[in-house]
Amino acid sequence: MGLHTRKWLSQAIRYPIALIALAFFLFPIVWIVLTAFKTPNEFLRNPPVWIPQTPSLVYFEHVIKTGGLKALSNTLIISTSTTLLALLIGSLAAYALARYRVGGDNLPFFILSQRFMPPVAVIFPFLLFFKALRWMDTHQALILIYLTFNLPYAVWMMRGFFMEIPREIEESALVDGCSPLGAFWRIALPLVSPGLVATGVFCFIFSWAEFFFAVAITKSQAVTLSVYIVNFFGKMMVQWGEIGATSIVSMFPLFIISFLMQRYLVRGLTLGAVK
Amino acid sequence: MSTKMFKVLGVLLAVTMLLGLAAPIAYAQEPCQGSSSQCAVEAAKKFAGTTINYVREAGLQAQDPLTMAPIWEELTGIKVNVIELAYLDMYTKPLQDHLTGGGAYDAIDLSPMWMQDYVNAGALEPLDPYIEKYMNPADMEDFLPVYRSEGVMKINGVTYGLYDDGDVFILYYRKDLFEDETNKAEFKAKYGYELVPPETEQQMYDAAEFFTNKYAPELYGLAIQRIEGQAYSWFVGPFSGRGGQFFDENMKATINSDIGVQLLTDMVKQNKVMPPGVEKWGFMEVLSAWMDGKVAMIVTWPPIGRWSAGYGDTAKQLAWVPASKVVGKVGYMPQPGGRPTLAGGFNMCVTATSANKEAAYLFIQWMTSPDISLQRVMLPFALRDPYRLSHFSSPLYRSAWPEAGEYLDTLKKAGMSGQYELGIPGAREYMEAIDNALTAAYAGKDPKAALDEAAAKWDAITERLGVENQKKAYEQWLKNPWNRLGPTVEVPTE
Amino acid sequence: MAAASEAIAMSSGMPQRRKRNLIPWMFVAPCMLVILLVTIFPTIYSLGLSLTKWEIGLQERPFIGLGNYIELFSTPRFLHSLLITLLVVVVGVSVEFGLGFSLAQLLSGEMKGKRVIVAALLLPVMVMPVVVGYTWRLLWDAQYGPINQIIGWIIGQPFTYTWLAKTETALFAILVTEIWQWTPFMFLVFLSGLAVMDPEVFEAADIDGASGWAKLWYMTLPLMRPIIIVALLIRGLDALKFFDIIFTLTGGGPGNSTETLSFYIYQTGYQFFRLGYGAAASFVLLVFLALFLTYLLKAFRATVEG
């Protein structure tokens, strides 16, 4: 088989394969989206009904009425706060690691390793801790936990970004009498702003989808979307319509973010190994 | 029909509110002579301005307190904050809260199964002093005896909860199919006896097989929930009815006795005459197949009886319930096998760490009082089922739909011959072991091997929690006639 | 977790420069404070807990040394959950790797509409795991799910099979679900990796007449090594903690046959309040993670620094 034939062949099968892959990876998402518009008789029908015959927003209305908006705003508040804090504290530390080589080569790896702590191992002490602080069912409790899990990531990522910018610019500022904090805040940080965005997106996504800690710590005031949706899966009834509606609410903000930030995603996903 | 019902309920609610505003002086005196709801309202007024955190199962269940809380607030000035939790979280979260210092919840809903774990942990407030002070004694007598007994509302003779949900399994069957002359003749020819609404498990199986053979896939004979996490409830009642025992005199598990193994073998066999995929069916699947007229019999919780009669199908909260195609065709029987499972149910309790115990108690007394609770078990979207003598005899309820009287009588009869699920320390873990054995057997595991494994788990749990402790707890639990296993209940004479 | 990074620290042998300047340390201080406070304290607390008999039904909480650990390793259910966890890690992550890599190979290079295709393929990663579990529960449903329906169309007669009620197929369903969610991750990572490789190397190989397989084996894979390691590190570690999807898809059933380690710990520790035993089980998980992490992080470190 000649070179050209092979090239032509590989070109020719690309689109069919891409189509099959798209069908497989998108079908479940389409299905849960459609479920949000089906009547109970449609999502519990054999053979299954694919297209809702009388689509309505009734489940969305119900979700809004039963605390869905609150769950959404809790999720937004918690994810945003964690992201901002992780970026702030994390890039400060990352700057010191990158510029001053604090803790040598080991500290960055130690910090990164904390990212992989299994939640089940630490949940009960967390409960005691937050109980003592009277922080159960509060935003700040989840913000603090997610911060712990996002910081290692933020530090690691931001360290990479800081290492990429030439240090000469800051050094001249320091010579001109700028404080180290000033050099960090006014000179280095603006230079890595694309890095901040890339890192922030991932901190945000992690906090958005987290379930294990959220279900343990929230009760009613700080309930996030992942916990809220589970409540529709009751012992007696499973409210698939509401589950579908909440799924849509929980998915689309991330879809939009991922589409807008596509070029940052790869670096974030690979802990900076792919630039 | 249902629109009329709403109007009646609306008037009732309004009257209640007016009565509360009028505040008859008679109710202010102690102990309570008049209606317990009025006494609660009068006594609660001094706590106006406080807030009670009350735990209820999330979703439809919570619609009931969310409807009632504003009325209570109007009457007493006490705000009720309804905290919605998923069913299993209702066990774990308040206990977790108690173990880490408590104070987050004032009133909670607990299944009778969980009561001993809570009492052992010191998480519940004894209610007797409050009852003496605020409740009309006659209203205590009004609870159906099975629901106010030891191990349900009481642990070691101390009252820790006010019962609020008459959950018992009954069988719903399609009268039209059972009364059809052709069906009757064909059935008799094949099985040698009359086609009757089943009282025994064998009759139920035969009828199920008959209908499935004749009508499938348009209609199946029987559908029972088999999904993990609740499958065990359908084992407990028949196990007791067949004479099975949980433990021997040394507290060794005997769930893997011949009776248990035979029962599980029969349950696996039942799956063959039920709709394909039934191993994963929960309440929703059973409900929708039933309402759609696709099954001849189901055995499940009480709310289906109301909805299949079309009662309340215009309520907004029930948008997710499929419209009933079986209105007027439904007959009721207690769960076949002699001992219907008293599956789940709820007590309303006050936590030991609450800062507003008295107000919390008054709220649960008001909620469970005869007049208020009648309105609540009649809410069309209610998942709370009748549990008071006055509910079963209520003319209003009995006329809610043509067969409502039969429905209530069946619920009462089933309740009075019912079998409770095990309620000793570690109850959830014991029941989970049975649940695992059942779903493993449905997946093809040998029933004997599955139950042997469950029995080994039981022994390990007992061992761990202390054989003597568990034995004592079990003996205490058995003091309730509805907890004792066996084909019949010896109802105490009062 | 600390153990793992210490291992790395010792193995690196790099001399540490002492800085007299305190300011950089102050920069790191807030971050270290949060991490130490919120991860080290709970770890130590849990270790202590794992050495006691802490049961909801008992009034006393006696110290029992390694009792919980001994019980763990003599409990078939625990060992089974360990097996299932490893199955998800090994089979799930391998298939994700294989599929993701092949897909990336096929779709690398210029292609019309690529940006949209890639963006669409990435969506599963963005769905909450809890939602993923519920969605697939619907899809696999015997009566109401489209999977049986589609199979029925293919074989030309109605098909009913209760996937989640049989152990083997429930495991299969879990793996498919995991693979569905994370293959796109592998795909995107490798696609980007391939994009930054030097095309001239491959052109030279083409001229030398190297076969497609030879190029893959001797050139692409070695060049992609750092990226492959990172991808395996991230997915492997997350798969070891696999919980949300089990919670919503199978609930561990039928029986206990699809319980992962995290699910088992959740069940015993936080549903049945066997806190000592649960803490011991979570330490076993921690050791597994640390071993895995030590190995992969070392490899990762060699590649990012080399």
Backbone angles phi, psi at B55, to 5 degrees: -95, 130
CA A231/CA A214 separation, integer angstroms? 13
Q: Minimum mean pLDDT among B2-6, B173-177, B431-435, C188-192: which range?
A: B2-6
- B89 interaction partners in chain A (CB closer than 8 Å): 215
Mean pLDDT of chain B: 90
Residue among A3, A122, A250 minimizing CB distance to C39 = A122
Whether the model pTM is above 0.90:
no
Please spell the DSSP secondary structure of B41-93, one letter per residue: HHHHGGGTT-EEEEEEETTHHHHHHHHHHHHHHHHHS-EEEEEEE-HHHHHHH
Judged by CB atoms closer than 8 Å, whether chains meet at B280 and C257 is answered as no
Inter-chain CB proximity A92 and C30 less than 8 Å: yes
Give the CATH class of B2-163+347-383. Answer: alpha beta
Place of tokens 């901040």: A196
Q: Which two tokens stand for residue C209?
A: 């007449």
pLDDT of B5 higher than 60: no
Are the Cβ atoms of C57 and B99 closer than 8 angstroms? Answer: no
SS3 B271: helix
Mean pLDDT of chain C: 85
Which among A44, A136, A230 has CB closest to B322? A44
Confidence at residue C16, expressed as pLDDT on a 0 to 100 scale: 41
Range of weakest confidence among B8-22, B285-299, B386-400: B8-22
pLDDT one-digit tens code per residue, B77-115: 999 999 888 888 899 989 988 988 788 899 999 999 999
Which of A44, A219, A230 shows the shortest C-beta gap to B284?
Answer: A44
Which chains share 3+ C-beta pairs under 8 angstroms with A? B, C
Q: Which residues of B touch C64 (CB under 8 A)?
A: none
Whole-angstrom Cα distance, residue B31 to residue C139? 59
- The tokens for A139 are 């935003």
Residue A67 in this model has a pLDDT that exceeds 60: yes
B228 CB within 8 Å of a chain A CB: no
pLDDT at C1: 41
Question: Helix (H, G, I), strand (E, B), or coil: what is residue B170?
Answer: strand
Residue C20: is its pLDDT beyond 60?
Answer: no
Give the pLDDT of residue B8. 56
pLDDT range class, residue B49, cuts 50, 70, 90: very high
Confidence of residue B13 (pLDDT cuts 50, 70, 90): low
CATH number of the B167-343+416-494 domain: 3.40.190.10
Q: What is the pLDDT of residue C84?
A: 95
User: For residue C248, what is the nearest residue in chain A, using CA coordinates?
Assistant: A230
pLDDT of residue A275: 64
Burial class (CB in 10 A: 0-12, 13-18, 19+), B191: middle
Give A209-258 pLDDT, tens digit per residue: 999 999 889 888 899 999 999 988 877 778 899 999 999 999 999 999 88
Chains that touch C (3 or more CB pairs under 8 A): A, B
B442, C254: Cβ pair inside 8 Å? yes
User: B278 to chain A: which residues are within 8 Å by CB?
Assistant: none
- First-to-last alpha carbon distance for chain C, in angstroms, is 24
Q: Is residue C169 situated within a structural domain? A: yes
Residues of C in contact with B216 (CB under 8 A): none
Element (H, E) at B139: helix B137-141
Contacts of C244 in chain A (CB under 8 A): 211-212
User: Does C23 map to a domain?
Assistant: no
pLDDT of residue C202: 73
Q: What is the mean pLDDT of residues A195-207?
A: 89
Higher pLDDT, C298 or B184: B184
For residue C162, give its domain range: 2-16+75-305
Mean pLDDT of C140-162: 92
CATH classification number, A58-269, choose in 1.10.287.3240, 1.10.3720.10, 1.10.10.60, 3.40.50.300: 1.10.3720.10
- Residue A189 tokens, joined: 């940080």
Q: Is the pLDDT of residue B378 over 80?
A: yes
Domain for residue C281, yes or no? yes
Is C48 contained in some domain? no
The pLDDT tens digits for C222-278 are 888 888 888 888 888 889 888 999 999 998 889 899 999 999 999 998 888 898 999
Inspect the interface and report whether the beta carbons of C253 and B445 lie closer than 8 Å: no
Write out chain B residues lying below 8 Å of A132, CB-based.
Answer: 101
Asked if C106 and A10 come within 8 Å (Cβ–Cβ), the reply is yes
B320 to A44: CB separation less than 8 angstroms, yes or no: no
Contact B341, B356 (CB under 8 A): no
Nearest residue of B to residue C168 by CA position?
B443
| In a domain? residue C285 | yes
Q: How many Å apart are CA C20 and CA C9, to the nearest integer?
A: 22
If one counts the domains in chain C, the total is 1
At residue B6, does pLDDT exceed 80?
no
Query: Chain C contacts of A254, Cβ < 8 Å?
Result: 126-127
C-beta separation of B428 from B91 below 8 A = yes
The structural domains of chain B, with segments of one domain joined by +, span 2-163+347-383, 167-343+416-494
Q: Residue C296: which CATH number?
A: 1.10.3720.10
Residue B78 exposure: Cα atoms within 13 Å on the Cβ side: 27
Q: Which of C10, C26, C27 to mutate to test the interface with A (most CBs of A within 10 A)?
A: C27
**Could you tell me if residue C32 is inside a domain?**
no
Q: Which residues of B touch A131 (CB under 8 A)?
A: 97, 100-101
How much is the pLDDT for A12? Answer: 77
* A237/B59 touch (CB, cutoff 8 Å), yes or no: yes
Q: For the segment B338-359, what is each residue's pLDDT rounded down to a tens digit?
A: 999 999 899 999 999 999 999 9
Q: Rounded CA gap, C241 and B370, in Å? A: 50
Q: Alpha-carbon dihedral of residues B140, B142, B145, B149, nearest 10 degrees?
A: -20
What pLDDT sits at residue C212? 76
Over chain A, what is the mean pLDDT?
A: 87
Look at B58 and A242 and tell me if their CB atoms are within 8 Å.
no
Using CB atoms, which residue from A39, A127, A234 is nearest to B87? A234
* pLDDT in the model for residue B316: 67
| Cβ–Cβ gap B84/A231 under 8 Å | yes
Q: How far is A126 from chain C (nearest CA, A)?
A: 7
With a cut of 80, say whether residue B313 has pLDDT above it: no
Distance CA C8, CA A223 (A): 39
Q: Do B436 and C255 touch (CB under 8 A)?
A: yes
Segment B116-136 mean pLDDT:
94
Query: Residues with Cβ < 8 Å from C63, sequence gap 6 or more?
Result: C51, C52
Question: Which region among B8-12, B146-150, C151-155 has the lowest average model confidence (pLDDT)?
Answer: B8-12
The residue-averaged pLDDT of A103-125 equals 84
Q: Long-range contacts made by residues B91-94, C-beta under 8 angstroms, separation at least 24?
A: B91/B117, B91/B428, B91/C271, B92/C270, B92/C271, B92/C273, B93/A219, B93/B55, B94/B55, B94/B118, B94/B123, B94/B351
- With CA atoms as reference, the chain C residue closest to A154 would be C31
The pLDDT tens digits of the residues spanning A124-141 come to: 888 888 888 888 889 999
Residue A6 banded pLDDT, cuts 50, 70, 90: low
* Min Cα separation B251/chain A (Å): 31
Q: For A131, which of B87, B100, B229 is closest by C-beta distance?
A: B100
Minimum-distance CB partner of A274 among C2, C5, C192: C192
Predicted confidence (pLDDT) per residue in A80-101, tens digit: 999 999 999 999 999 999 888 8
What is the C-alpha end-to-end distance of chain A, expressed in Å?
36
| DSSP structure string for chain A | --HHHHHHHHHHHHHHHHHHHHHHHHHHHHHHHHHTT--HHHHT-SSPP-S-SS--SHHHHHHHHTTHHHHHHHHHHHHHHHHHHHHHHHHHHHHHHHHS-TTTTHHHHHHHHGGG--HHHHHHHHHHHHHHTT-TT-HHHHHHHHHHHHHHHHHHHHHHHHHHS-THHHHHHHHTT--HHHIIIIIIHHHTHHHHHHHHHHHHHHHHH--HHHHHH-SSSS--HHHHHHTTB-SS-B-HHHHHHHHHHHHHHHHHHHHHTHHHHHHHHTTTS--
Kindly determine whether residue B319 and residue A58, on different chains, have CB atoms separated by under 8 Å. yes
Residue B167: pLDDT band with limits 50, 70, 90: very high
Task: Give the gap in angstroms from C-alpha C167 to the nearest C-alpha of chain A.
Answer: 22
- C230, A102: Cβ pair inside 8 Å? no
Tell me how many residue pairs between chain A and chain B have CB atoms under 8 A apart: 82
